[in-house]
Amino acid sequence: MPRNSKFVGLIAGSAGLAAVTGVSLAHAAGQPDAVAMSVDPAKRAQWDVARDGDRKPAEVIAFSQIKPGMVVVDLVPGDAYYTMILSKLVGPKGHVYALVPRGGGAGTRGSRTNQRDGKYPAAVPADDALGCVLGCYPDSRPPYMLPVDNVLALENTDMFKNITVLWEDFSAYGGDLALPEQVDAVFSADAYHELHYKNLPPLVEGVKGRVNPEKTLDGAAFSKSVFEDLKPGGLYIVADYAAAKGAGFDAADSLHRTDADATKSEILSAGFALDGESKALALASDDHTKPAQGTYSQRDKTDQYVLRFKKPLAVSGATQRPSKTRETEVMNTYYGNTYLGNYHVEGISPKGERLRIAFYNPDHTYQEMGKVGDGPGPMQLGTWWWDAQGHNCELHQFPIDERSNVVCHLPKAPRKLNEEWSADQTGGYATNKIVPGHVVKGWVVPE
């Protein structure tokens, strides 16, 4: 769904680019004015500015070729260092999707529950404590921030209204990157190794009886998904801590590093062309056998590679998103009717299944609910879109525990009213049916 639709209208706006001091100096050094304005130290937090000497954001951003007005993804934004810079760079006519991995589905809800109970990992790194938002409590429980908290603190603030946070499990559908639209660039700094973690803990239980094992991401499939979500000519910029040559992705868990050659091979296999390499963050003295860990200042003093890939202009930009005609065909049986998931279930089944009732509206909003007591989150509200692989994706914005959580489900093909289908055919809920009218177990829902 385009960003000028109802979806972004609910959660996006403008971010100003005012004239600031230091622009002429940076411009004289060969940096475009927009880049200089985006990294201007007078307009950024002091703890971020303190890292600039090692991170060299102006050089990295200039190399990225990201420009004002672009729609950009900040892939694994971490502490939002680059999210804020990108937001200022693309400006009021651009947009930034901050994509935070893991914790999808019930795991998100469970992570919030553990956060409030002070359970694992019940600690905030010293660097993150400066930006503690949702995980700091006025009692004896230890503080606990989730990776998504840093970017959630930015979303909907006046300065960063052009940021939308998407909190999703990238391993869903074999590496599907669930974006509402094709974008101009995908940017990832110091995080590519996280996409190759293998020693992942199981997700927190979200619904009683439902097992949430963490899935290892298929890196090649994910690269292909990034390819599909970029416009022809779109850019994919990757910077990461360098592993020893030939190490591949074996050092991702133990050293938090990746081999530049392995990264190139994986991304090129998806159809990208290598468009440039930068030595701005190279550090010859770095010991590639030591983990890239510690405080931010310690990690920043690590040898890093910076690569820019491009989706060829000649490649088709077609996706599996339905045309307007197809969407009307598919959604005619959803609009104004009631979608029932697990409608045979009374209470919670031994597998953790529970009744879910959903209304999908033409303005790309939805309401989903279940009986109070049938697991957490009896009511969910938000927006929905079609992703590049044709899945119908929900962006939960209520309840607050699930804010920005993305879950993709529902069949791609239209279903007739009162026709039953099962999860093994389409994914999602075990037993499904669409019934005429806004009806819930015989009760009429007020319009």
Examine the pLDDT at 10 and tell me if it is beyond 50.
Answer: no
How much of the chain exceeds pLDDT 90, in percent?
47
Give residue 49's domain range: 6-310
Residue 317 lies in a domain: no
Examine the pLDDT at 432 and tell me if it is beyond 80.
Answer: yes
Residues 296 and 331 grouped into a single domain: no
Confidence of residue 441 (pLDDT cuts 50, 70, 90): low
Residue 158 lies in a domain: yes
Q: Which residues contact 439 (CB under 8 A, 6 or more apart)?
A: 338, 445
Residues 337 and 426 grouped into a single domain: yes
Give me the residue label for tokens 């590496």.
Answer: 175
Examine the pLDDT at 292 and tell me if it is beyond 70.
Answer: yes
Provide mean pLDDT across the span 6-33.
42
Q: Distance between CA 129 and CA 259 in Å, rounded? A: 31
Examine the pLDDT at 373 and tell me if it is beyond 50.
Answer: yes
Examine the pLDDT at 271 and tell me if it is beyond 80.
Answer: yes
pLDDT attached to residue 305: 98
Helices 81-90/57-64 angle, 10° precision: 50
Per-residue pLDDT tens digits for 93-142? 999 999 998 876 667 777 777 766 666 554 555 555 444 444 454 454 55
pLDDT attached to residue 197: 92
Residue 302 lies in a domain: yes
Please indicate whether residue 178 or residue 302 has the higher confidence score (pLDDT): 302
CATH number at residue 267: 3.40.50.150
Residue 1 lies in a domain: no
pLDDT attached to residue 119: 65
Examine the pLDDT at 19 and tell me if it is beyond 70.
Answer: no
Residue 16 lies in a domain: yes
pLDDT attached to residue 109: 73
Residue 319 lies in a domain: no
Per-residue pLDDT tens digits for 312-321? 999 999 998 8
Q: Of the residues 310, 344, 364, which one is the last residue of a structural domain?
A: 310
Residues 165 and 72 grouped into a single domain: yes
Residues 304 and 178 grouped into a single domain: yes
Q: Of the residues 288, 310, 332, which one is the last residue of a structural domain?
A: 310
Provide mean pLDDT across the span 212-228.
89
pLDDT attached to residue 240: 98
Examine the pLDDT at 146 and tell me if it is beyond 70.
Answer: yes
Q: Distance between CA 257 and CA 240 in Å, rounded? A: 7
pTM of the model: 0.87
Residues 342 and 205 grouped into a single domain: no
Please indicate whether residue 339 or residue 241 has the higher confidence score (pLDDT): 241
Residues 290 and 387 grouped into a single domain: no
**Least confident among 115-124, 176-185, 203-212, 265-274:** 115-124
Q: Of the residues 263, 281, 310, which one is the last residue of a structural domain?
A: 310
pLDDT attached to residue 117: 67
Provide mean pLDDT across the span 358-372.
87
How many structural domains does the chain have?
2
Tokens of 276: 């440039």
CATH number at residue 371: 2.40.128
Whether residue 43 contacts residue 16, with contact meaning beta carbons closer than 8 Å, is answered with no
Peptide bond just before 399 cis, omega within 30 deg:
yes
Residues 215 and 132 grouped into a single domain: yes
Residues 265 and 381 grouped into a single domain: no
Residues 305 and 336 grouped into a single domain: no
Examine the pLDDT at 411 and tell me if it is beyond 80.
Answer: no
Residue 237 lies in a domain: yes
Pinpoint the alpha helices (H) of 69-157.
81-90, 106-117, 126-129, 149-152
Residues 366 and 306 grouped into a single domain: no
Confidence of residue 16 (pLDDT cuts 50, 70, 90): very low
Residues 304 and 372 grouped into a single domain: no
The neighbour count for residue 279, using CB atoms within 10 Å, is 12
pLDDT attached to residue 106: 63
Per-residue pLDDT tens digits for 51-104? 999 999 999 999 999 999 999 999 999 989 999 999 999 999 999 999 998 876
Residue 403 lies in a domain: yes
Most confident of the ranges 31-40, 117-126, 198-207, 259-268? 259-268
pLDDT attached to residue 174: 73
Residues 172 and 84 grouped into a single domain: yes
